[in-house]
Amino acid sequence: MRVLAAMSGGVDSAVAAARAVDAGHEVVGVHLALSRQRATLRTGARGCCTVEDAHDARRAADVLGIPFYVWDLSEQFTEAVVDDFVAEYAAGRTPNPCLRCNEKIKFSALLDKAVGLGFDALCTGHYARVERADDGTPSLHRAADPDKDQSYVLGVLTAEQLTRAVFPLGDSLKSAVRGEASRRGLAVADKPDSHDICFIADGDTRGWLEQRLGAQPGRIEDEDGVEIGTHDGAYGFTIGQRKGLRIGRPAPDGRPRYVLDIRPKEGTVVVGPAESLDVTRLVGARPRWCGPAPVGSVEVSAQVRAHGEAVPAVAVLGDGDALEVTLRVPLRGVAPGQAVVLYSGTRVMGSATITNASR
C-alpha cells in the first residue's frame, strides 16, 4: 500500500511513519508548511510547523530512508482555520482549531491531494484507533492511552475518510513511543510535545486577537445587569473563564465569579457564580458522522473538551440536522463554538458544533 505519512517534526508522527515502514508499506513523508511567516525556532513546547520542525521531520525521514517533501498549505490553513478562529471569537464563540484543522486540512486538503497523487492512505501520529469490520467498514475508537487519546479532535472524520486513515500509535502508551524513538535513533525522541494553539506561539490568545480585531471596549455585568467592570474586547473571554476578568470589586458573597455569557453585539460580558455554568442540554449544528447517523433517541456518552469528561446522555437528530443532546450529568462551562463528540463505548459516533447550551 502506498502511504503518505504526515510528519510534523514531532516524536509521534516520526514513530508512526516508522511503523508504517515496518508494516511493509511504500511510505513517503510530507511536512505541512501551514504558516505564511514561519518562525525559525519554536518557543519550548509552544508553536508548531516552524522551519525547525520541518528540519526535524526531514532528519527523521532520512533515518527511516523514505522520500520527504514539504507541502505549502498555508493559504488553505489561513482561510479554513486561522480566519475561522478569529471570526468565531468575534461572534462570541469558542472554536477548537485542532478539530477544524483535521476536518479542513489534514483529512480534506491533504488527503485529497494524496489520493490525487495515487496514495492509498494517510498516516498520522494521532492517538486513536481505526477498527475494520469483516466487510472493511471502518470505525473510529479511543486510543489505548487515555491520557493521550485524540479521538475527540478526530470526531469530524467521515466513514469515507476513515477508510484511508492509518493511526499506528492507537494501541501504544506515550512513554513507549518515546522509548521506541530513542531506540530507532530519532533525534526527536525527547522533543517536547506541542501545546496550546499552534499559530499563537506565545500562548497569548487575547493579545493575538486584539492585534486582529482591535480594541472594542464594553461592559462586564453581573446576572442582574449591573455593571461591575469594563473590558477591551468581548472576544478576549470564553464561557467558564475565571482568571483575567479584572473586576474591580468582589461579589457580595465573596465567592469567585466566572464568565457566564458573551454578547458581542452589545459588547457585554456577563459574570456570575460557578453553579450558573452547569448545563444539561446542548444543541449542535453541522453534525458529522463517523458512520451511519443515529435514528431516534440514542444513549451515548457526550464529551465537549479534548481531554474532558464524557458523561452519559441521550442524543436525538432532529429536523434540519439539528442535534439535541440531553445530559444525564450536568457539564460546567460549555461554550457555543465548542464541539460535542458522541461515543458509544470506545467508538466515536460523530460530532456537532454547539450552538446553544442551557439548563
Catalytically annotated residues = 101, 198
Helices (H) and strands (E) in the chain, counts: 9, 17
Q: Give the Cα separation of 43 and 39 in Å (integer).
A: 10
Residue 182: phi, psi to the nearest 5?
Answer: -65, -45
Enumerate long-range contacts of 66-70, CB under 8 Å, 24 or more apart: 66/5, 66/17, 66/21, 66/27, 66/28, 66/29, 67/28, 67/29, 68/7, 68/28, 68/29, 68/30, 68/31, 69/28, 69/29, 69/30, 69/31, 70/30, 70/31, 70/32, 70/33
Give the SS3 label for residue 346.
coil
Question: Residue 54 corresponds to which cell in the numbers above?
Answer: 520541518
Q: Give the Cα separation of 284 and 281 in Å (integer).
A: 10
The two most distant CA atoms of the chain are separated, in Å, by 67
Give the SS3 label for residue 123.
strand
Any idea which residue has 449542535 for its cell? 284
Residue 115 φ/ψ region, left for φ over 0, alpha for ψ in the -120 to 50 degree band, beta for the rest = alpha
Please state the length of the chain.
359
DSSP secondary structure code for residue 162 in this structure: H
Q: Give the Cα separation of 288 and 317 in Å (integer).
A: 11
Give the SS3 label for residue 349.
strand
